Amino acid sequence: MRERSRDKSRLEDILKSIGYVRQYVENVKFEQFVSDTMRYFAIIKNIEIIGEAANMLTRNFRQSHTELPWRQIAFEKPLIL
């Protein structure tokens, strides 16, 4: 259910997952990334969390922040290698 009172916690989830993704890719070359399946799937999982949390934000919140591509954030599928 999309409750206005939950928007803050969903945004916190998005920020936390962004932080994890940044941590997991920091100083990692692409070759290392694709050969490390645990790192790869940890990143994919956090991208899924970001998408699910963005999808559950209230319409009012998303309409108040049209500068962000909510549709892409919520519905883009990660590339499976």
> Would you state the pLDDT for residue 23?
97
> Would you state the pLDDT for residue 45?
95
Instruction: Give the pTM.
Output: 0.81
CA nearest 70: which of 6, 61, 48, 20?
61
Q: For 6-62, write each residue's pLDDT tens digit.
A: 999 999 999 999 999 999 999 999 999 889 999 999 999 999 999 999 999 999 999
Quick check: 14 and 54 in contact, CB under 8 A?
A: yes
Residue with the larger pLDDT of the pair 72 and 16: 16
Quick check: 7 and 58 in contact, CB under 8 A?
A: yes
